[in-house]
Amino acid sequence: MYKGNEMQTIGIKDLQKNPAILTRSLEADEYTMITKRSTPIGLAISFDDTIIDSGLKTALMVDAYKKGYLSLGQFSKALSLKKDEAMKMLSMMDANVINYDFEDDLKFLDAFDGHK
């Protein structure tokens, strides 16, 4: 069994010996990759009402965004949404959304430096 920063990986032999590994992972709301001889054969995810209410793909994308695995741009592209639509969806699903333009920040800093 390997547990990294983003996803736990469980070999099928480990899972056969100790199925509680998967149970603990699901209860901790972690994505779990199941492998056979180091080759991925499946993905286990915990179940919640969002899957029923919004569909599996949307629920996975919202969860991945909340956990920091996806940026706002990646989230909107994955669901074929405009950025403002994606922001609205995320805020309705209790996800923190911050929208700023890095270029505007750089212009502000340049202008600020010019006033010294």
Any alpha helices (H) in 6-115, and if so which ranges? Answer: 12-17, 20-27, 49-54, 56-66, 72-78, 83-92, 102-114
Q: Which residue has the higher pLDDT, 36 or 106?
A: 36
Average the pLDDT over 17-39 and give the result: 90
Enumerate domains of the chain plus CATH numbers: 2-44 (3.40.1620.10), 49-116 (no CATH)
Question: In sequence order, which residues have a C-beta less than 8 Å from that of residue 11 and are 6 or more positions away?
Answer: 1, 34, 35, 36, 38
Amino acid identity, position 31: Y
Residue 9 phi/psi, 5° resolution?
Answer: -120, 130
Q: What is the pLDDT of residues 47-95, one digit of tens each?
A: 877 777 788 889 889 988 888 888 899 999 999 999 999 999 999 888 8
* Distance from C-alpha of 79 to C-alpha of 74, rounded to nearest angstrom: 9
